[in-house]
Amino acid sequence: MTLPTDPLSTISDRLERFVAQTPGIVRAVLFTPDGLQWPPPQVCDADAERFAAACSMLASVAQNLFQDRSGGVRQNAVEHDDGYLFIMHTPHQVGVGTRAVALAFGVEASREADPGTLGAVMSKWIAGIAGHLTVQARDHTAPVR
């Protein structure tokens, strides 16, 4: 058996396994601050794109609320009659100045999921892929072609 050597396919595979093997998980996404799925999907999935964008919006609101405080937002949680939404911000900021951005992790879970256990599992999963959780920021000075 050959293991994938592409870090992006490894992350995608791990994300799929996380959803399949974690009780109560409905879906999960890694996303950029501007709401894009990461790694980019092989096939367009409008529902997943909306989920990534919504998670990004909630993460941004939380960060904006605490912008004048030291430290950073670690997670967001939303409880709904049908389940939960958890967003975990990664503590890993790698890059030079504003040239790199960290990703965040959004998870939708059913009512049957245990929030405490899910938080611990999410933290462990993020720690396991921490070296891959940074993407280069877009270059806004480059000419558009």
Domain encompassing residue 124: 7-136
pLDDT at 24: 95
pLDDT at 41: 80
Positions of the chain with pLDDT under 70: 1-9, 91-101, 131-145
Confirm whether 145 is domain-assigned: no
DSSP H helices, 30-142, are: 46-65, 115-128
pLDDT at 4: 44
Can you give the pTM of this predicted structure?
0.79
For residue 83, give the CATH number of its domain.
Answer: 3.30.450.30
How many structural domains is the chain composed of?
1
Q: Which residues contact 75 (CB under 8 A, 6 or more apart)?
A: 86, 87, 88, 89, 119
Contact status, residue 29 vs residue 52, Cβ threshold 8 Å = yes
Confirm whether 76 is domain-assigned: yes
pLDDT at 21: 93
Q: Which residues contact 115 (CB under 8 A, 6 or more apart)?
A: 77, 84, 86, 109
Confirm whether 103 is domain-assigned: yes
Residue 98 tokens, joined: 């504003």
State how far the alpha carbon of 96 is from the alpha carbons of 72, 101, 126, 131, in Å: 19, 10, 22, 16
